[in-house]
Structure 1
């Protein structure tokens, strides 16, 4: 083999082995608000708001997500506290079992005062198999939405967007089990920045957890009304040894880490989640509109980006390069 051919072959091998692939600037799906991705057992599992049900897509390659069947795994009852407005599902693997956290409202009162976070449990190894058991509503102090869970300092924590008067705030509590909170619940962030008050509402929602390379704890969140092009993703930070129930332990970034970018064709980005397909890789998934003024509709489409870490150890989301993680292996 000639030297030139060897160079070409080597380049091809390196390209095939690369965990990042450049892709055209397009969404994973045409419609999937509030996307959530988890990588487990050689698969990417993807859930998103469908409004009237909970459904999961599974693929080894996010570039082929459109080809994956979407399987409905749960439908709400006709009546009761979790019958309407099925929003913002998250799929978590906890203690060897699968859990879906989702927002729902009462059949008779589909409004914010009757909205809460509910939990389903599945003991099967595959979340597309087995039986989903209704574990009821998380016992939050306030009505709210967009619940998430994470582990830190040897225990599990629950964070959600709580309706506190005219504001939507972020509240945290420790967990006794995957569907029950224990001890005090504390508000750790309020919409006190101008960028968090766009669209006529004061809103913090869609919390998502990620641990930094130095062990710092980060909670991203979406600020402002989702129908505003000012909708964006902000960031809270706490030290690894911080008292997570103390609002003073959380420092808010001065500016959003992800905001509308006409050059990248990303408008009103928000409701993100983080996932790690491989050790040392952190990715973000979020929804966005493809043009200004499109509002808060089912047209919001999911995008992903590779997270990079600043010199200060904080997550950054570059939009100048679009990429996808490499396929997962069996």
Structure 2
């Protein structure tokens, strides 16, 4: 008799906000917000990623435009070169001084040298930058702050000239419109991440204030052959696609990444959440669970699972 291997959420309890995973062949790279530095994990298993080898690869300077509030790092491999995108500011200017900065590594993420490439030339102050390739072009999406009377941040997309430089306009593709995007005292769209499947592009994002119980995931959908720099190409879900479960004691699920099982047969969402109502952003922890696909080709993220539930490890572990 073979006993099924399982794990339980959370994967990372303390300082487990804004998780990101990148699968490179048989290695997983993992990152979360560390506020004063950028820390990188690597592991051969997804369920054991928080226990994997880790090291600090960049530390914020004492002063300057990227000296504080180091948030939401993402590692990407673009044309066989490694990049990390992260949010930072000067510690004094608040949201209006936030920018997305870029590090580059031509070698191994753990052993190679990370070189600062400066900040992305966005039209607005912003955070949570992400990149994706589509039809041989590179695109950048971020949560931008503007002089908005009724909301805090909105998502913009732009084509990239190279992995740290935008070209052309920053196109607004979603702003907070529904009540579920305006909980916790702020109207927020942030944390964009691309999911491509079934000849469609799914832009999944986080909505409402991250400390609110009702922080959740929204989604934009575009056809793979559409002009994705045209805001009208994106159809916005009128309801959250992933939200709190009071029954399962999971609150504020959001700011996620996507990856696959070691054998590539399963899709997994990695996200942060809070285990108690009004627990606050300081209690965010990293979780993950498998998701499936609906008959119309869109993702079905289901309901966030309780921490006491044993979950079968990803296929291939």
Q: Which residue of 1 aligns with 2:81?
A: 97
2:255 is aligned with 1:271 = yes
1:263 Cα deviation (Å)? Answer: 2.4
TM-score by length of 1: 0.89
Which aligned pairs between 1:75-114 and structure 2 lie closer than 5 A? 75-107=59-91, 109-114=92-97
TM-score by length of 2: 0.92
**C-alpha RMSD over aligned residues:** 1.7
Q: Which residue of 2 aligns with 1:314?
A: 298
- 1:117 corresponds to which of 100, 104, 113: 100
- 2:273 corresponds to which of 271, 276, 288: 288
1:323 Cα deviation (Å)? Answer: 4.1
Q: Which residue of 2 aligns with 1:156?
A: 138
- 2:30 corresponds to which of 32, 46, 56: 46
**Whole-Å separation in 1 of the counterparts to 2:260 and 2:180:** 29
User: Unmatched 5+ residue regions in structure 1?
Assistant: 1-7
**Whole-Å separation in 2 of the counterparts to 1:111 and 1:327:** 44
2:39 is aligned with 1:55 = yes
After TM superposition, the structure 1 stretch with the greater mean CA deviation from structure 2, 260-269 or 128-137, is 260-269
1:64 Cα deviation (Å)? Answer: 2.6
Cα distance per residue 1:150-199 (max 9 Å; x no partner) = 11122010000000224300000001110000111100001001100011
Q: Which residue of 2 aligns with 1:205?
A: 190
1:327 Cα deviation (Å)? Answer: 5.5
SS at match of 2:49: helix
Pick the structure with greater CA Rg: 1
After TM superposition, the structure 1 stretch with the greater mean CA deviation from structure 2, 273-282 or 243-252, is 273-282
**Whole-Å separation in 2 of the counterparts to 1:54 and 1:326:** 29
User: Unmatched 5+ residue regions in structure 2?
Assistant: none
Cα distance per residue 1:264-298 (max 9 Å; x no partner) = 2311001011113443432110000011111112x
Which aligned pairs between 1:1-330 and structure 2 lie closer than 5 A? 8=1, 12=2, 22-24=6-8, 26-31=9-14, 32-107=16-91, 109-124=92-107, 126-166=108-148, 167=151, 168-212=153-197, 214-277=198-261, 278-297=263-282, 299-319=283-303, 322-326=311-315
Between structures 1 and 2, the one with greater helix share = 1
- Aligned pair count reads 307
Quick one: structure 1 residues 56 and 102, their matched pair in 2 at CA, closer, same or farther if it must change by over 3 Å?
Answer: same
- Structure 1 stretches of 4+ with a deviation exceeding 4 A read none
1:254 Cα deviation (Å)? Answer: 1.9
After TM superposition, the structure 1 stretch with the greater mean CA deviation from structure 2, 133-142 or 37-46, is 37-46
1:62 Cα deviation (Å)? Answer: 3.0
**Whole-Å separation in 2 of the counterparts to 1:139 and 1:199:** 30
CA contact (8 A) 1:305 1:324 kept: no
